[in-house]
Amino acid sequence: MRLYEYIKALAPSKGRRWFLAITTLFVPALQQLLRKEALESYQPTVPELGIIEAAILIVVLFVLGYLAWSEERAKNDREWTGLNFEQREMITESVTGTNKLPEVWMYNSDRPDCKRLGGDLFHSLDPVWRVARALTDDASAPIPSGFLIQAGRNDERAEILQRSLKKLGIDAKINHADGASFAILIGSKIR
């Protein structure tokens, strides 16, 4: 299964396809040209050619793997990642035992990564807290960038949620205000 996932991650983009095509077509042609022009007396055996081709293929796959990894890393730097099952369960367990009320409001930016994180967080918190449905922003009230928890002065749920999100690598800021309703605002990710 891991090999399939690796190959799927390497699904070549247009630039990578050209790189792969040029490499796989150019190298054997170069071998034949060198053999014919400069090294007529040298006749490589089939195992030698196979080793050369295998080495070139390994280098090409390594370069493609690095490019896929760097693209995914850059994407994770500018977009929120969703939460997997274990992460959702960890958040649910960390907030268990806290007050169910007042109700928690969730606001997401209209970006797909914000909606995904908001949905995952909704499913994590809803079994423990009373969470209103996740709302997306509109043009009249855009959501600020980053992850913001808004809470009343004496609501300890904000700190508990912030600590559990910090364990997952999500830097959440808290805004305490008198009489503020508990709200989670997920805007575009900032670095």
Please say which residue of 17, 52, 78 terminates a domain: 78
Same domain, 69 and 145: no
Q: C-alpha 145: how far from its chain's center?
A: 18
Q: Residue 191 and residue 186: Cα distance in Å, rounded?
A: 14
191 is a domain residue: no
Count of structural domains within the chain? 2
Same domain, 57 and 92: no
Give the range of the structural domain holding residue 144, as residue numbers without chain letter.
85-186
Same domain, 103 and 65: no
Same domain, 60 and 121: no
Please say which residue of 78, 98, 132 terminates a domain: 78
pLDDT of 25 > 80? The answer is no
Same domain, 74 and 94: no
**Model pTM above 0.85:** no
Q: For the purposes of burial, counting CB atoms within 10 Å of the CB of 132, is it exposed (0-12), middle (13-18) or buried (19 or more)?
A: middle
Please say which residue of 61, 78, 95 terminates a domain: 78
125-147 pLDDT, tens per residue?
Answer: 999 988 886 676 655 567 888 99
82-109 pLDDT, tens per residue?
Answer: 899 999 999 999 998 888 778 889 888 8
Q: Which amino acid is at 19?
A: F
53-82 pLDDT, tens per residue?
Answer: 778 778 877 887 888 788 877 777 788 888
